[in-house]
Amino acid sequence: MREETGYTSDDWVQIGHAYSNWATQNNQVWFFLAFNALKTHDQDLDATEEIEVLDMAYEDYLNFDGVTPQQCHHAAALHYAERYFARNPDKRPK
C-alpha cells in the first residue's frame, strides 16, 4: 500500500480471497482492510504506473459515480468489505 499510495497502517484485517482467474490459474488474490491509514510517504510508482489516490469518506465512496469497478476483483473487494462491516458494524468508517 505504501508504494502504490503513500499510505501506511498498522491495523490490517484479512477479509477474503478468491482465485485470480479460476479458468486458467490456481493463484489467489487476498483482500484486506487497512484501518487508521495515514499518508506517510510519497508514491513510489514504476515508470509505467499511473495511480490516482482519492481520499474520501467511505459512505461518499459507496455513492460516488466517478469510479466504477474495472475488474471483478474490485467488486469482490467491496463485497468482502461490506460483509465484514455487516458483521462488525462498530468498525464501519464514519
Q: Where are the domains of the chain?
A: 2-91
At 30 the pLDDT is 96
DSSP H helical segments within the chain, as ranges? 2-5, 58-62, 72-87
At 48 the pLDDT is 96
Burial class, 15, CB count within 10 angstroms (exposed 0-12 / middle 13-18 / buried 19+): buried
Instruction: Kindly tell me if the per-residue pLDDT of 53 is higher than 80.
Output: yes
Burial class, 9, CB count within 10 angstroms (exposed 0-12 / middle 13-18 / buried 19+): middle
Q: The C-alpha cell of 92 is what?
A: 464501519
pLDDT in tens, 27-46: 999 999 999 999 999 999 99
At 69 the pLDDT is 67
Mean pLDDT calculated for residue range 3-30: 93
Q: Which residues contact 60 (CB under 8 A, 6 or more apart)?
A: none
Q: What is the dihedral of CA 88, 31, 26, 44, to 10 degrees?
A: -170
